[in-house]
Amino acid sequence: MSVAIVTGASRGLGRAVAGELAARGWDLVLSARGAAALEEAAAGLAPGARVVPVAGDVSSAAHRAALVAAARELGGLDLLVNNAGVLGAEPLVPLAEHTLDGLREAFEVNVVGPLGLVQEGLPLLRAARAGAVLNISSDAAVVAYPTWGAYGATKAAGDLVSAVLAVEEPELRVWWADPGSMRTRMMAAAEPGEDLAGLPTPEEVAPALVRLVERALPSGRYTAGELAAEAAPGVGPGVGPEAGTGAGPGARR
């Protein structure tokens, strides 16, 4: 049985990706800061999947060690999904007004924590038959949206970390994927005045991201939009790595 760690799994995209993996028979270690919400999310996954909720903050080394230890207990680690993230300021503000403490927190949670979890899990990932890392990105990493500068800087850093990891660990699959705008609590907190009614839900986006795993696509940068389009009837050649290019305006997360 394949085992995945999914961070930020109590709600939103992390919870949706966990649901997709559980439905495909994966065993899961789930992480989020809120214990009650995480327990509730774990209880709602597919019957039969072994699910271990471990509440904590990915910026904590002890928590990262606990996550990997839980995966080892389940049999190993085949997939690490670094989804947990923070904005750094809610609502978002221009860089001229952004607190440096908020920026530091965002880098700790969005960059340092995910890399630390990769480092902690690497022995198990290297030992897996097809070890893989999926880092959730944003088109704010590659497009200069007003007020998204601090969050986008963390995602740009995450993209580069992912790209270098892919080169340094060629036996692994390393994907950094932009899910696009979604109807999430994070998006509502980022821009409270924005109408989210027309955006897809995380449950609508997650299946596209899981295609990276199902098809063992090459390491690289992808968007959920191109993954979904490629799967649509009548669409031509398969998608390839985006190689660090942006997904275009209007798809930020």
CA distances from 175 to 118, 131, 222, 237 (A): 13, 11, 7, 19
170: how many CB neighbours lie within 10 A of its CB? 9
Write down the pLDDT at residue 48. Answer: 84
Q: Listing from the earlier edge strand, what are the strands of the sheet with 173-178? A: 51-55, 27-32, 3-7, 79-82, 132-136, 173-178, 220-223
For every one of its 253 residues, what pLDDT tens digit does the chain have, with 9 covering 90 and above?
Answer: 899 999 999 999 999 999 999 999 999 999 999 999 999 999 999 788 899 999 999 999 999 999 999 999 999 999 999 999 999 999 999 999 999 999 999 999 999 999 999 999 999 999 999 999 999 999 999 999 999 999 999 999 999 999 999 999 999 999 999 999 999 999 999 999 899 999 999 999 999 999 999 999 999 999 999 999 987 766 554 566 654 333 333 434 4
Angle between helices 202-214 and 224-231 (to 10 degrees): 70
pLDDT digits 0-9 by tens, 176-229? 999 999 999 999 999 998 999 999 999 999 999 999 999 999 999 999 999 999
241: how many CB neighbours lie within 10 A of its CB? 16
Burial annotation 213-223 (CB, 10 A radius, 16+ → b, else e): beeebebbbbb
CA distances from 221 to 183, 225, 246 (A): 22, 12, 9
Q: Can you read off the two tokens belonging to residue 146?
A: 């007003």
Active site residue 145: no
**Which residue is catalytic, options 151, 175, 176, 222?**
151
Q: Can you read off the two tokens belonging to residue 69?
A: 């230890």
